[in-house]
Structure 1
Amino acid sequence: MHNNKSLSRELSLISLGLIKDKGDFKLNKFQIEEIFESALDSLINHCRDELDNCESELENASQKILDSELKEGVNSSFSNIRDDLKKSLAKIEIVMNTLSVSLDFPKLIISSGQMDIREDVNDRVSSIINNLKIIDSDIDQVMDGWRLKRLPRIDRDILRLAYVDMNFLSTPVAVACDEAVNLANKYSDTKGRKFINGVLRRLQTVKLQ
């Protein structure tokens, strides 16, 4: 289940992706609010897609079960039928897990109307765009021979959000890291997740000067 802070972080991440990645601009609150609305639309559309995918996966799985029942009368071996059923049931289990996450989305839509979430996203996004140079340079210092700008945009933004949590919003380090890892699991790839984990460990020791 999304708690409000997790939802704020996710919406902040999507919002950041809609902003040019440059340190020489300022956005006012109204512009950030517009970006927030686009981010919310994008998240809700993602959920609708997930639900549509679940529906078609369930239809496929139930069709396979029907097919295997029909095969029972034909000269098909029991072990083949059992394998088909196992695969279908495994598919249904994955779909049910996805559904249990997606069914929280009515709550997401209601929560998103709450001012505290909008304020929180505004604070996070403003903190990043107004302090981008110092944030990026501090993260660069713990990048171990890499440069932040070489990372995919989504990975950069996940690290920036974690930095803001630790240094601007007094979030406990363990919570900031857990939340960043959750975002990486959802939005990054395997390589990105590993890299983010390593940088987060080193970032824990760096505090805002």
Structure 2
Amino acid sequence: MHNNKSLSRELSLISLGLIKDKGDFKLEKFQIEEIFESALDSLINHFRDELDNCESDLENASQKILESELHEGRDSSFAKVRDELKNSLKKIENVMNALSVTIDFPKLIVSSGQIDIREDVNQRISKIINNLTTIDSHIDQVMDGWRLKRLPRIDRDILRLAYVDINFLDTPVAVACDEAVHLANKYSDMQGRKFINGVLRRLQTVKSQ
């Protein structure tokens, strides 16, 4: 269940990036479905790119192992190459774990025993686009002198998703914040991650009062 919710949030984030964020407006359900399909394609393509990068890393590490074996008596580069190979294998493991979730995705959609991820994404996107002005205004109130519109789009959408989790979907605040941090770690930069963390802490404080 937790993995399904995390996947829903990630697909919601990618979907939101395909929609303008200029004030409240309406989207028909079939339009959200089309956006969802594009987001799913984007996520799958991202994993394919990651796998290609891992394959390239492995080839480079293997070549360096061969080269170091030829020169092993003259230098000590083999330990460094071994570390590079370990790092490549770790990356492949992480990508394969994520990929295995995505490969199972069609089964999750059609299985009546699983959460309806499409409906979950639809709900999150609809809540945001139909309440955008209110959501942004409330987040602005805890921005500590900043304005939400000054943040990069991806950071705005991560905060909006966290807000919807907390205020519309009754997600425990700690869970919503953890999930937002996970998305920030994957999609934002270091400055964005620090800023998102700060805003989430203030949102958490406001909610607990």
TM-score (ref. length: structure 1): 0.90
Q: Which residue of 1 aligns with 2:55?
A: 55
Task: Kindly tell me the number of residue pairs found equivalent between the two proteins.
Answer: 204
| Other-structure match for 2:38 | 38
Q: How far has the Cα of 1:113 moved from its partner?
A: 4.9
Counterpart-to-counterpart distance in 2, 1:113 and 1:51: 27
Kept in 2: contact 1:57–1:95 (CA 8 A): no
Residue equivalent to 2:17: 17
Query: Given that residues 50 and 102 in structure 1 are in contact (C-alpha distance below 8 angstroms), is that contact kept between their aligned partners in structure 2?
Result: no
Q: Which residue of 2 aligns with 1:83?
A: 80
1:92 aligned partner, one-letter code: L
TM-score, normalised to structure 2, is 0.90
**Contiguous gaps of at least 5 residues in structure 1:** none
Question: Which residue in the other structure is 2:70 paired with?
Answer: 70
Work out whether 1:135 is the aligned partner of 2:135: yes
Matched, 1:165 2:162: no
Give a deviation string over 1:61-113, Cα, whole Å, max 9, x none: 111111111223xx622x23333333333333333333333343312343355
Q: Contact 2:47/2:95 (CA < 8 Å) preserved in 1?
A: no
Alignment deviations for residues 148-168 of structure 1 (CA, whole Å, 9 cap, x no partner): 000000000000000000000
Q: Is structure 2 residue 178 aligned with structure 1 residue 181? A: no
- Post-superposition Cα deviations, 1:148-194, rounded to whole Å, max 9, x if no partner, equal 00000000000000000000000010110000000000000000000
d(CA) in 1 for partners of 2:120, 2:90: 35
Aligned match of 1:204:
204
Q: CA RMSD in A?
A: 1.9
**Separation of aligned partners in 1, 2:204 and 2:9:** 18
Counterpart-to-counterpart distance in 1, 2:169 and 2:79: 54
Mapped contact 2:181–2:196 kept (Cα < 8 A): yes
Aligned residue for 1:104? 101
Matched residues in 1 for 2:59 and 2:101: separation?
A: 22
Letter aligned with residue 127 of structure 2: S
What code does the residue aligned with 1:158 have? I
Matches of 2:155 and 2:183 in 1, distance apart? 9
d(CA) in 2 for partners of 1:40, 1:180: 19
Could you tell me which residue of structure 1 aligns to residue 3 of structure 2? 3
Taking a change above 3 Å as real, the CA distance of residues 12 and 90 of structure 1, as seen in their structure-2 partners, is closer
Which is worse superposed, 16-25 or 99-108? 99-108
